[in-house]
Every structure is written in structure tokens, then in C-alpha cells.
Chains A and B, each alone.
Chain A
Amino acid sequence: MKDTDIKRLLYTHLLCVFSIILSVFIPSFFLENFSILETHLTWLCICSGFVTAVNLVLYFVVKPNASSKRSSLSHKVTRFLKCCIYFLMSCFTFHIIFVLYGAPLIETFLFAVILSTFTTIPCLCLLGPNLKAWLRVFSRNGVTSIWENSLQITTISSCVGAWLGALPIPLDWERPWQVWPISCTLGATFGYVAGLVTSPLWIYWNRKQLTYKNN
């Protein structure tokens, strides 16, 4: 593990943060009456699109683990389709979990989509549709590179952010951001951004202790 790796990680993460910031500002040039709170669902779609796009671009440019040996076209297509299916499944899983938490049935889906964007898509980009690798990364002491380590951090922090975002809902302040699912999506977004920013720093500070088995 070298410092250049960490630097690369930092730059890619900053790009992701930048894409989220852009998703807040750019649409207001094209859409009238655009604001995060009032046209929240539109923003959710746009933000999710931006983050997905940036993640894909980064995946093709940086290629943190370029080790797929067979690269026939059919293989790529099946891989892509598998990714799509995984993404959809994660959306539905999140949706079910939210409903079990007491969320209304309909309005919740876009929240599930954005949380999947923050968690599943980076996983898909980095690990591919490979459940075993996912399990490895998300078990204790299973990470094998700084990329996976940062993936762990951002995913967990997005989920925790969404969890914390639910806390202010019962308060009777009657603010616009307390409407379902705004506080949760904002929480997830802040959690994701925080994860993106802190993970390179955390890795940098702990670089002495971190030893990966087979890099």
C-alpha cells in the first residue's frame, strides 16, 4: 500500500462528492422551481443518476482491480445484466426493510433506490456480482485492499446516516424536511458524503496498522 494509492482514492472520492454537489445545483438551470425539499423526488432521481454515472466512469478509468481475465462480449453482457438484477434486488430489499420499519408502501421506493445507489452500486463496480466477495468484504477483517476498506466505510456510513435520518421524524417542529422520506434521504446522503471524506483520511492515519493479506 502506497501513499499514491491513498491519493487516488481521495481524488475519486472527492469526485463522487462533487457529483452530489453538482446534482444539487445543475438542475436548477434546466428545471424551474427546482429545490431539494419541494421537488425532492426529482432530486432523488437526478442525484442517483449522477452518482451512478460517476461511479461507472471511475470504474472504467481507475480500474482498482482490473483482473477479469476472460473478457468476451457475452461474458460482459451477462455480467452487466447480473449487476442490474442485483441492483433491483437490493432496491426491493431496502424497500421491504423500510416498510417493516413502518414506512408507507408507495412513497418509499425512491428512498430505497438512492440508498442502493450509495451502497450497492459501488459494491457492484468494485466487486462485481460476486456474493462471496461481498460477504468477505463485509465480515470482520475480510478486506484485502484500501478500496474495499473505503467501500466498507462508505456503505456502513450511508446506512447509519439513513438510520439516524429517521430520528427527527416524530418531532413536532413541522419543518419541510421532516416530511417522509426527506430526512432519511438527506441522512443517507450526508452519511455517504461523510464516509467518502473520512475513509481516505482514516486509512491514511491508520496506514501503519492496516496490513492486507494478499494485495
Chain B
Amino acid sequence: MRLGSGTFAACCVAIEVLGVAVFLRGFFPAPVRSSARAEHRAEPPAPEPSAGSSSNWTKLPPPLFSKVVIVLIDALRDDFVFGSKGVKFMPYTTYLVEKGASHSFVAEAKPPTVTMPRIKALMTGSLPGFIDIVRNLNSPALLEDNVIRQAKAAGKRIFFYGDETWIKLFPKHFVEYDGTTSFFVSDYTEVDNNVTRHLDKVLKRGDWDMLILHYLGLDHIGHVSGPHSPLIGRKLSEMDGVLMRIHTALLSKERETLLPNLLVLCGDHGMSETGSHGASSTEEVNTPLVLISSVFERKPGDMRHPKRVQQTDLAATLAIGLGLPIPKDSVGSLIFPVVEGKPMRDQLRFLHLNTVQLSKLLQENVPSYEKDPGFEQFKVSEKLHGNWIKLYLEENNSEVLFNLGTKVLRQYLDALKTLSLSLSTQVAQYDIYSMMVGTAVVLEVLTLLLLSIPQALHRKAELDVPLSSPVISLLFYLMFLVLSAIHVIVCTSAKSSCYFCGLPWLAACGVMALISALLCAIVSVLTKMFIRGSLPSKNPAPPNSGWSELDLLMVFGTVGHVVSLGASSFVEEEHQTWYFLVNTLCLALSQEIYRSYFLRDDGEPQCCFRVEQGFAGATPALQDRTGYDTREQDRVHVSSSLSEVLRGHEKWMVLASPWLILACCRLLRSLNQTGVQWAHRPDLGHWLTSSDHKAELSVLAALSLLVTFMLVQRGCSPVSKAALALGLLGVYCYRAAIGNVLFPWQQDNRDISKGIIEARFVYIFVLGILFTGTKDLLKSQVIAADFKIKTVGLWEIYSGLVLLAALLFRPHNLPVLAFSLLIQTVMTKFIWKPLRHDAAEITVMHYWFGQAFFYFQGNSNNIATVDISAGFVGLDTYMEIPAMFLTAFGTYAGPVLWASHLVHFLSSETSSGSALSHACFCYALIGSIPVSTYIILVTSLRYHLFIWSVFSPKLLYEGVHLLITAAVCAFFTTMDQTSLTKS
């Protein structure tokens, strides 16, 4: 069977996507879980240990507090409370922290510092898996054991006001609630007023046991204008006022009840210097935790240096404070100062409960738990505790009792710390078997792609696919049997849960068959190469002269980029790599242009010499494979064609075009500073988005839209031209409606709407243009000879995508779009056409520019830079599928636009029919090399310090990128197919 190389590549990428999916499922570990599910429950609490059998305290200790109020302020950084900002803007809180009856701590949040995982961590005490970040927008109900569930089970009445993530996480848990949405980031007053307006009524009523308030305004301010904005101070003062109201109300209530109340002020995560969050910088992980209750001692605390605790410790502390069982999955330890005022027996009882829970969790998650130092300490301290109880019940000398008690206490605290630590590190458990299976699939596909380069880039662009030669099929069945046997052995012997073993047998068998089939394909290709190689060698290695500097640069650039992914800094600063490569590419292009231009002009003998050499190189290659031969001949004629093409000002444009592109890239580079090390540098983007420069931003956005229109309209049919113009106008109206830009006739800030109508107006035009394009493509397939319609159709699809990108981009990013179109136009007109690069080279250049534009947009390999707001353009409520699609398109607009330009360019310019399939093959290859290598790198670096903060986000990015590559390849192949059927 013969297969076009484009189809072959598309199939390969599709299989690779499957492999990467299996790998990802194995790589992102399921978090530490207690095996006992929360549903069937109510096992009795651990009894108090005693050396004799004389203690009978087997029930849970009574609660310490009657009412608990949790004030969670989103993105509250530690220095907002404990630093100079706190002193200035939060006087009441500062007073409480310094002189009041309170304990203050810096609670360390683990990355990912995003709201939903942090809420989970606060309430369950467990460390949610990295993959939770992806589910952040679509939070399903929390299934794990948590404080809220326990409190509800104990009959407590819980009220909640604030971020509606809570309501999704804990459905039907709250007696009374009001959720606010966090999707409209520009709103930072109303979200908080919606919470505060309930406060008076609720505080007066007092028919609740637990009140949770989640304020989002501070986070929104951070996202919009950063941590040093003047708005922050105002918001902090507002929060201070809220805290004062709650505290005074609680104090007045306390007289009626026996038990004291507890007020908790905490943040879910911090805020980086740019105002975002998600990563693991100090500013993002450090949050304040202030516990206020009249039962605590008033002590002059050192406010500047509060003690450090873990964020997960709050769950255990709250559970103890409310007299509830500690959540089963909690890895936190009790914050000891809270119970310090209690009698010694109670203190020891609390600590014992906590250690028993932790050691149970350890037993369930670690096979060799007995050797764990924490577990040993726990055993020792439990024994000591028993002795102490015995002494206590015998009413021994109080001083001896006290001394022994403090010793036990210290022992318990040590045990808690060790246990908590070793459980936290347990989270990084990988499902190695699934990872191996995924890696095997991906690597086999890559090998197959690499091995078929010579055949696929041959002029015919077709591959022989051997079907069922007897030896190969024997090999296939053998491999299949062996792999199935391995699968059975691994799955029956594995102790820990394994995703791949959990699959139904049929699916697992399918994957095994796939692996063995791929292996057989590789073997057959290898044997064929070997047979061909052992034939009388007609030629030595392919002539070296076939490699121009440009090709060398592309090969080395690709290899260098792939190798650089092994270093965390290079992953963080990947944009630098791409900018560097693209710049060098431009210089190499300029060198090529100058050489062909000047050498021709001089008419020196070198030219003749080059021709000779070219033929010398080409003749042996002609008999053989690879497209290099044709290209080398092309290259020889380039110089002649160049001087013919170049007349007048066009000559100068050709000479200047690489420099023009370089200058554009330099401007774009200063638009968005991304990465980590230099992200804090001032950039044009921040300058434009600050509210003082709205007029400049409006002018720039309008100009960019105008340039976009000018550049795109030339290839469209009149109807879509009009649609494009209206659509771009609609984009501006949408931005004006949501308050990003201004119309010239309105200087004042009007009220801000969501711009739903305007955005939908644009969507209609996007769909219309895409529809026209598809119609033209179909028409071109029916009416065979019409080549031009196809070109127009492809351009219309391209312009539809441009319009969609214009709608989704933030206004300060619109220049990126305009410049990308400008560069594409310049390159098409002055570089690719006159220099006649072959399809493979043009593909690689498109890919590189696409990558560079991904970063020019302000993206990075950090989850926090994903612009989620793109997913809500024109949507009234959160709808998962459109939102995900829009966000993905907005993020990967750069690569997608360049790829679609590539399709249009190749199908319109090149005469040879195989160009598209060559390009598809190259695109698939160059897209899958980094992914496959990165998978291996990440597997070997899985215990690296930065695995979660740097490598895992990049892995997710790579996965999505591969998915998009697969989509692009599918598009290529359909285009190729249409051209094939036509010819």
C-alpha cells in the first residue's frame, strides 16, 4: 500500500497525541489519599493511649470554639498584613496582631498557587495534584474528606459568601450562601460589596456556627494593576474595616456563650510582583494567617517575623478547634499555639489524634512505613504518652508530671513535623508503567518519522507501507504476546494504583497491538534501508554541498532548542531561545540574499564555479533520493532569477526586508516581558494597559486593526472583504464596550458592560468568513481546473482566523497581530518568492516564527500567563467547551496563524504538487521532536526541585501544542487530498 507522506505524518501525530495523553495521565500523580472513602465512614476516633487499661477517654475531645469566622482574602500576600502596607492600611489588624489576643503566622502555600487547589488545601489539608490547576475553571464537587463536610455531619450550620468556586466544591453544604463570580477581572468593587452586604444581617442573627467569607477584589486588582497600585491600599483598608466589624460583633456575642469564638484571617495565595499568581516565587507562596480569639494570651509578639507554618495545617487546626475528626487526607499538623492554653492532658490528646491520623495516612500510602523516622517517633511518643496517662491517673507529683508531659509534647511535635514532611513528599509518586507505555508509543512514532525522512521528502512524497509480510506478522504476534504477558505481570504485581492497568482489557490490548505494530513498521523500514544500503553503493553520503548555511542553522537550532529544554532556566526563558533563533535566521537570510545579489552583480567567476559544483553535487543525487538535488539546482538559478526580479525600489526592499523583520521583532520583544528572570522589567504592554494611557492604547489598537485590514483584505473576495472590515470594526466596539479603549467622541469613562452583543456580532462575521472559505474550497474540488478559487478559499479561512484572533487578543497585543501579518507579507513577497526556498525550509521558518509569536503575545511556560479572559469573550456564563476552545486559540494564535499562512502560501505559490505533503511531514516532524525529547527529559528529571513549578507546566504546554500540531497536520492533509483528487 502506498501512502502520501502528508497522510502518514498526520497519522503519526495522531498516534503520538495518544501516547502523550497516556504519559500525562501517568505523570501527574494522583495525590495522597486515604483508601477509606469519605462516604462510608464514622470509624471511632483513636482512644487515648495508656500503659494500663485505666483510661476511658475514647470520644473526641469537645470543641474549643463555638463560632468560627473565616475571612479569606484572595491573593493576600504576607507583607500586605505584616509589612509596611499592613501598618499603613490595616491599622486594626495590625493592632490585633501586635497587641491583641491573636496568633499570627506566615502560611506557606504550595504551588500551584491558584485559587481552587488552595481552597482544597485549606479545607482538606491535603496537597491537591498539579492537574487540579487544569480543572480550576470547572471545579467539580470535592470528594475528599474535609472540614466542611465534617462540620456539616456534626450538625453545624455553615454560611458562605464569596467566590462561587466554594459552592461548586461544596454543593449543598452551606445553609445560606451567595456566590460571586471571578470571571470579570476588571470588577473589583462589586464582587466585594456583594459579600459585605450580608454581613450586618448575619452577624446580628448569629444562627450559624461557621461563617466563611471569600473576598476576590484584591486578586482582581492585582491582575489588573499589580501589587503596587494605589487601589491595593484602598482595598486593604476596606478589608480592615470588615475585619473590625466582625471582630467587635464576635466579642459582643461571646458574652452570651460559654465558649470563645475564633476569627481566622487568611489568604489563599500571594501575588507576584507583576500581580499574577500560579508559580512558586516567594511573593506568591507566602500568605498571612492570623488566628484571633479572646482565649489566646495577649502577648507582645514579634510582628515582623511571624512563625512559618504550612497552609495545610489550617484544616487539622480547625477540625480540632471545632471538635471534629481531622480530615483523613490531611497532611498538615496542628498549629500548636492554638491549644497552648489547655490543660496538659487535652494538649496531648489533640496531638495524639493528629499523629494517629497522619501515621494512618502514611501506612496507606507508603509500603515501607515502618522504617519512616516519623512513624518510629510516633510509636515512641505514644508509648511515653501512655506512661504519662498512667502517672496522671495515679495522681502523681505534679512537677514530675509536668516535666514528663513537656517531654512527651516535644516528642509528639517532632513526630508530627516529620510525618507531615514525609507525607508531603509522597505526593510526587509517579505511575511509571503508564509513563513507560506512553513514552514507548511516542518514541516509536518519532523513530518512524525520522527513518522515513528520505522517502517522505522524495519528490513523489509517497511511502511504501508494507502490509503483512510473513516475517513481520510473525514478529508482530510475538511482540504482542510478550507485551500482553508483561502487562499481566505488571498489573497483578503492582501495589500502587496504575492508570493503565485500570483501563478495560480491550483498550489495553489495543495499545499493546499499536506498540508492536509500530515496532514492526520500524523494523521493516530498517531492513529495507539496510538492503538498499548493502546494494553496490552507487554514491557515498549525500553530498555535503547540499546543505546551505540556512539548513545547518535550522538543524542546529532545532537540536539546540531540544537540548536546552533539559535546563530549568532555559524552559523558563524559552522565549529568549526562540527570539535568538529567529534573529539568527533573519541574519542568515540576509546573508543569503546579499550573496546571491552581489555575486550576480559582479558577475565574477565564482558563479560559474558554483554552477559546476552544483551539477557535480546533483548528478549522483539524481539517481537517488531526497529533494536536495532539485533544490540545489534551484538555488543555482536563484541568482539569475533574482536579478531579473529585482528592479528599482523592489531591489532595495529585498535587501532591506531582513532588517525590517529584525526591527519588528525587536519592537515586539519589548512589548511583553515574559519568562521569570526579566519579567519584572518595565515593558510597553504594562505602560499601555495602565489607566493613564488609555488614549495611546486606543490609537495603537485602531492603527493595528487598520494595518491588519490592509494586509488581509488583498486576498479576499469582495464579500468577505466587507465582512472583515465590519468584523474588525466590531472588535474595536467590543473593546470600547468593555472599557479597554475609548472612542474619540467620548472622553469620560462610561459604564462598563460585558460587550456580549458586540462580541457576538464579530463571531457572526468570523463564522461567515470561514463558511465562505470552506465553500470556495469545496467548489474548487468540484470544478477541477479552478486553481484560483482554492487559493482564495484558503486565504479566507486564514483571514477568518485573523479576525478571531483580533477579537480574542488583549488590545495591547493587537500590534502583535499586525506585525505578524506584516512580517508574513514581507517574507512572502521579498524573501520566499525570489529566493525559492523549498517546502521544508519554508515550513521550518514558519514554525520558528510561530513559536516566537507565541511568546511575543506575552505567553510563557508558566500557567499564570494563560489569558483566561479570552475564553469569556461574548459568553454570558461559563460554558466549558467554547471557553476552552477560545482560550486555547487565543493562547496558540501565533503558531496557528503562521501554520495557516503556510498552507495558503504553499498551495498558492509552488507549482509542484508534493510541496504540501512535504510541508505537512516537516511540520509533524519538527513539532514532535521537542515533545518526545521533553518526555524523556521530564521522566529523568522527575525528582528535580523545579519539577512542579517549571517542568510540569511546560509539559502541559507541550501536550496542548502537540494537539494543535495534530490539528494543523490534519488540515494540511485534507488540503493535500483535495489537490490530489483534483489532479
Contacts and interface: CB of A to CB of B under 8 A. Distances in A.
Contacts, number: 51
Nearest to B587: A97
A163 interface: yes
Interface stretch (B49-57, B663-671, B880-888): B663-671
A97 B572 CA distance: 25
Interface residues of A, number: 18
A94 to B, nearest CB: 12
A61 interface: no
B472 to A, nearest CB: 45
Contacts of B613: 141
Interface in A116-148: 132, 135-136, 139-142
A95 to B, nearest CB: 13
A102 interface: yes
Interface in B592-626: 595, 598-599, 602, 604, 606, 609-610, 613
Interface string B641-665: 0000000000000000000001101
B606 A100 contact: no
A170 interface: yes
B847 interface: no
Contacts of A170: 569-570, 572-573, 576-577, 675, 677
B550 to A, nearest CB: 14
B666 A135 contact: no
Contacts of A140: 606, 610
A140 B576 CA distance: 31
Contact of A142 (B567, B573, B606, B662): B606
B584 interface: yes
A67 B769 CA distance: 69
A32 B723 CA distance: 72
Nearest to A172: B569
Contacts of A169: 576
Contact of B677 (A99, A141, A172): A172
A25 B572 CA distance: 38
Contact of A132 (B570, B602, B610, B675): B602
B583 A141 contact: no
Q: What secondary structure prevails in chain A residues at the interface with B?
A: loop
A49 B720 CA distance: 63
A106 interface: no
Interface string A85-129: 000000000000101111000000000000000000000000000
A132 B577 CA distance: 35
Majority secondary structure of chain B interface residues (helix, strand, loop or mixed): helix
Given A102-B579, A163-B584, A170-B677, A139 B599 contact: yes
A139 B580 CA distance: 25
B598 A101 contact: no
Contacts of B583: 100-102
Q: Counting chain B CB atoms within 10 Å of each CB, which of A101, A141, A170 scores highest?
A: A170
Given A100-B663, A141-B606, A172-B569, A135 B580 contact: no
B677 A100 contact: no
Interface in A60-74: none
A169 B577 CA distance: 11
Given A100-B662, A170-B569, A172-B569, A139 B606 contact: yes
A100 B669 CA distance: 10
Nearest to B665: A100
A122 to B, nearest CB: 20
A166 interface: yes
Contact of B610 (A99, A102, A141, A172): A141
21 contacts: A99-B666, A100-B665, A100-B666, A101-B583, A102-B576, A135-B602, A136-B606, A139-B606, A140-B610, A141-B613, A163-B584, A166-B580, A170-B569, A170-B572, A170-B573, A170-B576, A170-B577, A170-B675, A171-B570, A172-B568, A172-B677
Kindly list the 10 A-B residue pairs having the minimum CB-CB distance in the complex, ordered from nearest.
A170-B573, A100-B662, A172-B569, A171-B569, A170-B576, A100-B666, A101-B583, A170-B569, A142-B606, A135-B598
